[in-house]
Amino acid sequence: MTEIKKIAVLGAGLMGHGITQVATQIGKFEVYMRDIEQRFIDNGMTMIRESLQRFVKKGQMTETQMNETLARIHPTLDLKEAVSTADLIIEAAPENIELKKALFREVDNYAPEHAIIASNTSSVSITELASATKRPQKVCGMHFFNPPQLMKLIEVIRGAQTSDETTQTILEVARRMEKETVLVKKDCPGFIVNRILIPALNEAAAIYWEGTADRDDIDKAIKLGLNWPMGPLMLLDYIGSDTTLAIAEVLTKELDPKFHPSTGLKQMVKAQLLGRKTGKGFYDWTQR
C-alpha cells in the first residue's frame, strides 16, 4: 500500500473545504488546499473555521486541537506547489469533464510518480479521467457527501485500470478519516447514491414546477413519508441545482434517456437560483 502523509485537495468550495477539514481534523494529514482565486480560498478557510468553532462550542474539540487542525492546512493558488510533494491528490473541482481532464493532465505532470490521483466527482467517468494521465492504475474515485464533516459515507470507485493497491490505499485513507465506505466495482455514471438520488430530486423539481404541490408540502411529504432528514427541494438547494443538473445530464447521456432533467430543474439553473451557493434557490438562504 502507498503510505499517505501529504494530501492535496484541489478546490476549496462546498466539497473541497469539507474534505480538507475532515482530512486534517480527523485523518491528521497535512493538506495543501488549492483553488484558482484567493476569494475561493478565503471563503473555504472561513467555512472551515466556522465549522471547527461549532465542534469547539459543543466541547467535541479543544481550542488547541482546532489550532492544530488549522496549522495542518496549507492554502495555495499554486497547483505545482500543492501537488509536487503530495502522496494523494483529491480533485474537487466543478462537475465539468473537460475542466477535470485538463486538471488531471496537469496534475499528472507535477505529481510524484508514486502519487494517487482521486476524484470527488459525483458522476464523471473515472476511466475517462484516468485516460488523461499516464498512471491510470493510480486513479480512483473517492466520492464524499455533503457536508463531508458530518456525512459518514465515501463511495470508492474503481476505474477500468485502477489497481488493487490504489483501491486498498484509498479505503485505508477513508478509514483514517473515520468514514464508512462502499466499493463501486465498475465505473458507472452516478455510482450508487446519485443514480438513485438524482432522479428523485429531478422529480421533486418537476412536481414543484407543474404546481402539483407547494414547496413545503413536497418537502414535508418526503421528510415524513420517507424519513429523510431534509426534503428533496431543500437538499437540492444544499447540493446546488447546477450540480444536480450536471449529474442528470451525464446520467442521460451515458446511461439512459430516462434520466433527462426536468424543465423545473433547468429553469432553476437558468435563473441562477442555485441554492445555498447563490443565496437563493427553492429557499431563501440569505437570512439563515
Residues linked to residue 8 through DSSP beta bridges, in sequence order: 32, 89
| Binding characters for ligand CAA, 234-253, by CB under 6 A (x = yes) | -x---x--------------
**Quick one: CA torsion of 229, 239, 100, 35, rounded to 10 degrees?**
-100
Q: Which long-range contacts (CB under 8 A, 24 or more apart) does 164-170 make?
A: 165/1, 165/2, 166/2, 166/116, 166/137, 166/138, 166/139, 166/140, 167/140, 168/1, 169/1, 169/2, 169/4, 169/88, 169/116, 170/116, 170/118, 170/140, 170/142
User: Per CB under 6 A, does 270 bind ligand CAA?
Assistant: no
Binding residue (CB under 6 A) for ligand CAA from 85, 146, 181, 252: 146
Whether 122 sits among the annotated catalytic residues: the reply is yes
User: Per CB under 6 A, does 40 bind ligand CAA?
Assistant: no
3-class SS shares of the chain: helix, strand, coil, % to 5: 50, 15, 35
* Between 2 and 70, CB nearer to ligand CAA: 70
In the set 194, 202, 241, 262, the catalytic residue is: 194
Binding residue (CB under 6 A) for ligand CAA from 59, 211, 229, 257: 229
User: Per CB under 6 A, does 196 bind ligand CAA?
Assistant: no
User: Per CB under 6 A, does 151 bind ligand CAA?
Assistant: yes
Binding residue (CB under 6 A) for ligand CAA from 5, 28, 39, 54: 54
User: Per CB under 6 A, does 149 bind ligand CAA?
Assistant: yes
Q: Which three cell numbers stand for residue 132?
A: 488523461
What's the CA gap between 44 and 188, in Å, rounded? 30
Q: How far is CA 39 from CA 13, 44, 77, in A?
A: 10, 9, 10
**Quick one: CA torsion of 56, 62, 66, 72, rounded to 10 degrees?**
-150
Whether 74 sits among the annotated catalytic residues: the reply is no
Element spanning 142, H or E: strand 139-144
User: Per CB under 6 A, does 119 bind ligand CAA?
Assistant: no
Number of residues that bind ligand CAA (CB under 6 A): 17
User: Per CB under 6 A, does 259 bind ligand CAA?
Assistant: no
Nearest residue to the partner ligand CAA, using Cβ: 122
Cβ at position 286, least distance to ligand CAA in Å? 16
In the set 30, 91, 95, 155, the catalytic residue is: 155
User: Per CB under 6 A, does 191 bind ligand CAA?
Assistant: no
Q: If you search the block for the grid coordinates 407543474, which residue do you land on?
A: 210
Catalytic residues: 122, 143, 155, 194
Residues that bind ligand CAA (CB under 6 A): 51, 54, 58, 122, 145-147, 149-151, 193-194, 197, 229-230, 235, 239
